[in-house]
Amino acid sequence: MTGRLDGKSALVTGAASGFGAAIAKAFAREGARVVIMDLDEDGGQRVAGEIGAAAASLKGDVTRREDFERAVAEATRNGGRLDILVNNAGWTHRNKPLEEVTEDEFDRVYAINVKSIYHSVQASLPVFSAQGSGVILNIGSTAGLRPRPGLTWYNGSKGAVNMLSRSLAVELSPRGIRVNAIAPVMGATALLESFMGLPDTPENRAKFIATIPLGRLSEPDDVAGACLYLASDEARFVTGVILEVDGGRTI
């Protein structure tokens, strides 16, 4: 541990597993106090237990403003302030022809991937504004930069995340709030089969990996490392960036 986040307090959504769990653990290792917000209550508590005294977990739905308000209050109480908000929770419809995506699937993708950012910003802005500082990190996707067939509506949601991050950066910078996005390539998470639209077999993975110059899927620690840099004071002059963590996929 080098203490890059000493004295800071963070709220990370969707941190019961995958990218979010790795982000929460990396932040805690670098000195931050972390609150995990996830619908998976047992998973959130497990990750918090693995982190130790620096972490707390609460069950929360990112599509509900009141859950974000509760989480922001808990993170502020837990750390004495709120310095970092990571909007990591995300969802996708299964890879399939666009006309086969139901309205319910469409609504769920946009509620979790896009409207959650609206809720989180509205809930955290009073705290950040009063402090005169804050960092918001939104987990976008290479899908919002280099779209793939079969994921049209998901691609659009992540394009919105990318643009929202840049627009928020411009509007909130006078208040001392930095906003950036991380755009990972597909990783071996619970959503992998949905992204591929195929069973997760070595053969199907190999087909996708062949499109990534560095020759592998993203891993949770790849995303956590990018978030750690953008959340730290080392990135104090970095805002409005979409950082591609993709092994060269979008080149």
Domain 9-245 annotated CATH 3.40.50.720: yes
pTM of this structure: 0.94
Break the chain into its structural domains and give their ranges: 9-245
Over residues 152-198, the pLDDT tens digits come to 999 999 999 999 999 999 999 999 999 999 999 987 766 666 666 66
Q: What pLDDT, on a 0 to 100 scale, did the predictor assign at position 207?
A: 83
- Report the greatest alpha carbon distance in the chain: 53
Q: Each residue of 185-220: b (16+ CB within 10 Å) or e? A: bbbebebbebbbbbeeeeeebeebbeebeeeebbbb
Quote the CA–CA distance of 8 and 54 in Å, as a whole number.
Answer: 11
Q: What is the mean pLDDT of residues 97-106?
A: 96
Over residues 23-33, the pLDDT tens digits come to 999 999 999 99
Q: What pLDDT, on a 0 to 100 scale, did the predictor assign at position 193?
A: 65
Active site residues: 154
CA distances from 238 to 25, 144, 241 (A): 23, 21, 7
Over residues 55-72, the pLDDT tens digits come to 999 999 999 999 999 999
Q: Is the dihedral of CA 118, 66, 194, 248 positive or negative?
A: positive
Q: What pLDDT, on a 0 to 100 scale, did the predictor assign at position 1?
A: 56
- Give the residue among 250, 246, 247, 226 at the shortest CA–CA distance from 238: 226
Q: What pLDDT, on a 0 to 100 scale, did the predictor assign at position 201?
A: 76
Over residues 108-155, the pLDDT tens digits come to 999 999 999 999 999 999 999 999 999 999 999 999 999 888 999 999
pLDDT confidence bin for 206, thresholds 50/70/90: confident
Residues 6+ apart with CB under 8 A from 89: 13, 14, 20, 37, 38, 62, 112, 116
Could you give phi then psi for residue 171, rounded to 5 degrees? -75, -30
Helices 152-172 & 116-131 angle (0-180, nearest 10) = 20
